[in-house]
A and B are shown apart, each in its own frame.
Chain A
C-alpha cells in the first residue's frame, strides 16, 4: 500500500487502512471469494472534491446527523460491479446497460459494510455514537453523482473533506471504490487530535 507523505493525507490514509482492513476481513468471511486491499490513496480538501471522470457507475450516500455532522459518498464504477457481485455472491447478475435493482441493492449493502467500518473507527476516536442514515443509491456518470453529492443540503465549503480511493482485489478481479468523506471542521479537529491519526 502507498505511503502518504502529506500529513493530513497520511492521517486519512491511516484511518482508512484501519477501517478497510476491518471491512475486508468481514467481507471475506461471508463472500464466495476472498477480498484483499491492493491500494489505498488519500487525497485531501479541495483536490478531493474535484469530480472524477464521466464513467458510468453507482454511488451510495450516507449522512450522519448531529453536532458533528458527517457525509459520505461511496462510488463504484459500473464495470467493477460485476467483480463485486462475483466475489460477494459467487455469481454476477445479467449484464445490462444500466444497473438493475438487484445490483443497486448489492452496491448499497457492500457500501453499507464499508461505510460502517469507517464510522466505527470515527465513532471510537471521538467517543460518540454515530448512527448513519439509510443508504441512498444513485446511478449515473461518476461526475454527476459527485456533483449531486456536493450539492446536497448540509455540505458547506468550509467542511474538511478527503477522498479515499480503495482498490480491492476480489476473487479473479479488482474493484475500485472511491470514498468521499466530508465533515464539519469541529468534528475533523476532534477526530485527528484525540490520540488518533495525527
Chain B
C-alpha cells in the first residue's frame, strides 16, 4: 500500500515511516504541514494518509476536510496523542478512517491498517 505520513515532529514521522516500511508498505517522504501534505498527495496519490492532528498553521481536521474534497478515494486516518471522545467524533464527521492513538505498538499499527483497509 502507498502511504503518506503528515507530522510536524520529524522524530514521530520517522518512527511511523520506519514502522510502516517494516510492514511492507511503500511510504512517501513525510510531509510536515497542510500545504506540503496536499502537494505530496497530488504527486504520489497515496492510498492512505496518516494525519497528525496538531500541526502549525492549518491543523489535521482542516487537512482531513481538504483531503475528503480533493482526494475522495484516498483514506485518511488521524494519528495523535489527543484522547478525547469529542475530537474523535469530529474526525468521524470529517470522514476520517480512524484514529491511531499515540503511543502505539507495532501490532496495534498492523491491526489498525487492516481495519482501515477493510472499512
Contact = CB atoms under 8 A, between A and B. Distances in A.
Interface stretch (B6-14, B35-43, B66-74): B6-14
B11 A113 contact: no
B5 to A, nearest CB: 14
A131 B59 contact: yes
Contact of A132 (B8, B12, B82, B103): B82
Contacts of B86: 123, 128-129
Interface of A: 26-27, 29-31, 101-102, 105-106, 108-109, 112-113, 116-117, 119-120, 123-124, 128-135
Contacts of A135: 9, 54
B22 interface: no
A75 to B, nearest CB: 18
Nearest to B102: A113
B55 A109 contact: no
A129 B81 contact: no
A120 B82 CA distance: 7
Interface of B: 8-12, 53-56, 59, 80-84, 86-87, 90, 102-105
Given A108-B9, A109-B11, 15 more contacts: A27-B103, A30-B103, A30-B105, A101-B10, A105-B11, A109-B9, A112-B9, A119-B82, A119-B84, A120-B82, A120-B83, A128-B86, A129-B86, A134-B55, A135-B9
Q: Indicate the member of B12, B55, B81, B105 with the most A CB atoms within 10 Å.
A: B81
A133 B53 CA distance: 10
A134 B58 CA distance: 11
Contact of A120 (B8, B84, B102): B84
Contacts of B9: 105, 108-109, 112, 135
A128 B85 CA distance: 10
B87 A113 contact: no
Contacts of A130: 84
Contact of B11 (A106, A116, A119, A124): A106
Contacts of B84: 119-120, 123-124, 129-130
Given A105-B12, A113-B81, A134 B104 contact: no
A108 B13 CA distance: 13
A112 B81 contact: yes
Q: Indicate the member of A27, A30, A31, A124 with the most B CB atoms within 10 Å.
A: A30
